[in-house]
Amino acid sequence: MAAMRKPLVTAALLAASLSASAAPAHEHGAARLDVAVEPSRVVFMLELPLDSLLGFERAPRTDAERKAADVAIARLRDAGALFRVDPAAGCKLERVELRSGALSLGGAATSTDGHDDLDATFEFACTQAQKAGFAEIGLFAALPRLQRVDVQAVTRKGQMKATLKRPTTRLSLAR
Ligand SMILES: [Zn+2]
């Protein structure tokens, strides 16, 4: 039983390691991406300052801002273009969840310090997730203001950290 249960712990392990991480939580031009590779799924958790997404960090006020927000949200929901897992893993996008107080998404609260984020979860169902040797990260193409992605990944083999800088798109998941 212990052997069967072990992979299911990775998401919880990731959450625990994230809260202990010293990386800055909110930096304009940057994003945090946490990746959990489990036997039958790969989950990407993105923490993105709204500045990196839109250039402003409050609810849209003008038609142009509303349109920019709608375009950005549509890009994030089109996660098949944002995250392409190694075809060997046989993954299919299953769920996208977006949360942002300023954009009235997911019931999130608005920040009180004038800096607002968008948090997103992208879940892929995979036939053989452990075979994923890499993932192509399309965030730079989708988000022109984004310059850097700080990645933390948890696979069955352990934890790893990586930094992706524009224009790099490939995240290695092999060790
Ligand atoms: Zn900010």
pLDDT tens for residues 102-154? 999 998 888 878 899 999 999 999 999 999 999 999 999 999 999 999 999 99
Q: How far is the CA of 107 from the centre of ligand 1 (A)?
A: 20
Query: What is the Cα–Cα distance from 59 to 61, expressed in whole angstroms?
Result: 6
Beta partners for residue 29, in sequence order: none
pTM, rounded to two decimals = 0.85
Q: How far is the CA of 87 from the centre of ligand 1 (A)?
A: 36
Q: What is the bridge-based pairing of β-strands 117-126 and 134-137?
A: unpaired
- In this structure, which amino acid lies at residue 174? A
**Contact partners, residue 169, CB within 8 Å, separation at least 6:** 136, 137, 138, 140, 141
pLDDT tens for residues 21-74? 544 579 999 999 999 999 999 999 999 999 999 999 999 999 999 999 999 999
Instruction: Report yes or no: 36 and 157 within 8 Å, Cβ to Cβ.
Output: no
Q: How far is the CA of 17 from the centre of ligand 1 (A)?
A: 23
Q: How far is the CA of 49 from the centre of ligand 1 (A)?
A: 6
